[in-house]
Every structure is written in structure tokens, then in C-alpha cells.
Amino acid sequence: MRLIVRDDAISAAHYVAKYILKRLKEFEPSQSRQFVLGLPTGSTPIEVYKILTNSYQNGEVSFENVITFNMDEYVGIPRDHPESYHSFMWRHFFSHINIRPENVHILNGNASNLEDECLQYEAAIQAAGGIDLFLTGVGEDGHIAFNEPGSSLVSRTRVKTLAYDTIRANSRFFSNDINQVPRMALTVGVQTVLDAREVVTIALGARKAVALQRCIEGGVSHMWTLSSLQLHRHSMIVADEDATLELQVKTVKYFKSIEQVALEEGFEQAISKRLRKALGEKHACHALAKSAAPEPALDNMGSRIRNNNITFVG
């Protein structure tokens, strides 16, 4: 895992956006070979989306052959609600670029059968060949997507109840009225994120400092689901200085020195074309195997849903 530290939030967002643009240009997506991008919502990625939008409008990049999968969506609020993640993504990103609407995938929190929605979402990711790059944020309690503390590190897309701290933090998007914030959401699982070929996380502000410290200097723990990135072969966290306030000084210096040496040697984190091809073949084989296998037991999804009664099991 790499840690990239930038002076402020704008600089961190620029680094992440330029990194994504570089990956897209290296990949050279086409109609027969599309780039699959996992995306977050919330205030953290907004500046990244602005930079990506500007790059498209300046003719630097095309999203015509990009497929996206969003991390999560609230349960029970209309799709056109201003604070639904569907509305968020079209308002801040999709309506400003040339992405094909059929290539946009966002969980439906109003599906008649939430369990089937989750299963179909996982199947859609596999059918697309797996996710090439998953961009994530991180919650104050170290969660990625809505994988709250205590989530299984091998979890898949499922229904989750939201922790009180998450509900409180998200109330700022609902006129600071905590009673308006949905209590449940659909979310990709930790393993869903880890299956991506590459994971890039952006952490901004002093409120994320404790989470960043636990996830970098602590061990892997289901109580801090971002820490699972320690197990990923191509993961990177980009943080501003404020987000590093709880890290030891020597930790920050170490990662800064690693970046400096890498730049001096002309080396950056990169997935070779050979490895990318191998991973793509692995995902394709996995998708074929899943299509021939029986559906997983309900317990493996982390919830049981029958007749609108939901029992959460992990």
C-alpha cells in the first residue's frame, strides 16, 4: 500500500484526478475493451469529478467507453431525491461528460427485492470483466462505502444498517436534520472493492485523521474496513496534510521519502499490461464459473430479506 501526502485538499484531488486520467490514457478503452471504474459519492470526490469533467470538456479524455459502478445508495428515498446518490452522480459528474447512460450502474434502493438487486449488481460487475480501478473515500470511523465497523472483510454487495455516527455525519446533506437521513443503504462489500485490479482512496481533513492512522499504522481489522487495503497488491491512499495529523512523524516521512525516490528513479505504481491481461482473464473465468454455479446461500450476502422483513447477519 502506498500513501501519497499533499499539502491541501485541492492538491490531493488534483493528484487523484490526474492519476485516473493517466490510467485511462494508458488503457486506451474501446468499445470492445472498456475501462471499468468504481466510484464514490460524498463531499470528498467532488473536486476530483470537477477536474475530470474539465479534462473531458478540454478534449483531453473521453468517457464513451468507460463503465462505472457506484459504491452505494440509500434505501427508501426516490431516485430523483436531491440527496440520492443517483442524483448526486448525475449532478456532479455524469451529466457533464460523454458517458453512455447504459454504462452507468448505481444500486436501486427502491428495488422490490433488495436481495436480488444486490446479487444482480455483483453479477453485472463480473459480466463487465471486473473493476479496473476503484476510487473510494473513507468515513470518520474508517469505513469504505457503507461497510461500517464490524463488517465482514469478505462481504459482498448487500443491505446494511447505518451506524449512528454515519447518520449524524450525513445529516449535513439533509439540512442538518438527522431524522431525514435514511437508516439503511445498499453497498458493495469489502471483498467487492478488494477484487478491483487497483484501489485508490482519497482522505481529506482532520476528521479523517484517526481513521487514517488506524488503517495505516494499525493492523487489518473489520472495525476499520479501510485497513483491508493492506491486503491489496495495488492500493494507494492520497491524503492532505490535515488527514495525517494522527500519524507518527516518521510514518509520514517514510512514505514521502518512498515517493521521492520513486520519482527520482522514474518509477510509479503501475500495473503491467501482462498482469492486467492476466487479471482480466481471471475475472472472465470467474464470471463464467459463477454463471454455471447455484446462487449463494442467503447468509453469504450478509442479510436475509423475505416479505420486506430484513434480518442482518453480518
Reduced DSSP (H G I as helix, E B as strand, rest coil) percent helix, strand, coil of the chain, to 5: 45, 20, 35
d(Cα 313, Cα 234) in Å, to the nearest integer? 30
Strands 184-187 and 72-74: antiparallel
Residue with cell 478488494: 194
Write down the catalytic residue from 47, 72, 73, 132: 72
The question of whether 143 is a catalytic residue gets the answer yes
The model's pLDDT over 86-141, given as tens digits with 9 standing for 90+, comes to: 999 999 999 999 999 999 999 999 999 999 999 999 999 999 999 999 999 999 99
Write down the catalytic residue from 47, 73, 115, 141: 141
The model's pLDDT over 252-286, given as tens digits with 9 standing for 90+, comes to: 999 999 999 988 887 766 555 555 555 555 445 54
The model's pLDDT over 106-117, given as tens digits with 9 standing for 90+, comes to: 999 999 999 999
The question of whether 72 is a catalytic residue gets the answer yes
Write down the catalytic residue from 115, 117, 122, 148: 148
Write down the catalytic residue from 86, 105, 143, 222: 143
The model's pLDDT over 151-205, given as tens digits with 9 standing for 90+, comes to: 999 999 999 999 898 899 899 999 999 999 999 999 999 999 999 999 999 999 9
The model's pLDDT over 212-243, given as tens digits with 9 standing for 90+, comes to: 999 999 999 999 999 999 999 999 999 999 99
The question of whether 141 is a catalytic residue gets the answer yes
pLDDT at 276: 55
Q: How many CB atoms sit inside 10 A of residue 45's CB?
A: 24
The model's pLDDT over 15-61, given as tens digits with 9 standing for 90+, comes to: 999 999 999 999 999 999 999 999 999 999 999 999 999 999 999 99
Domains of the chain: 2-301 (3.40.50.1360)
> Torsion-angle region of residue 28: left (phi > 0), alpha (psi -120 to 50) or beta?
left
Give the CA dihedral 18, 22, 28, 33, nearest 10 degrees: -80
The question of whether 283 is a catalytic residue gets the answer no
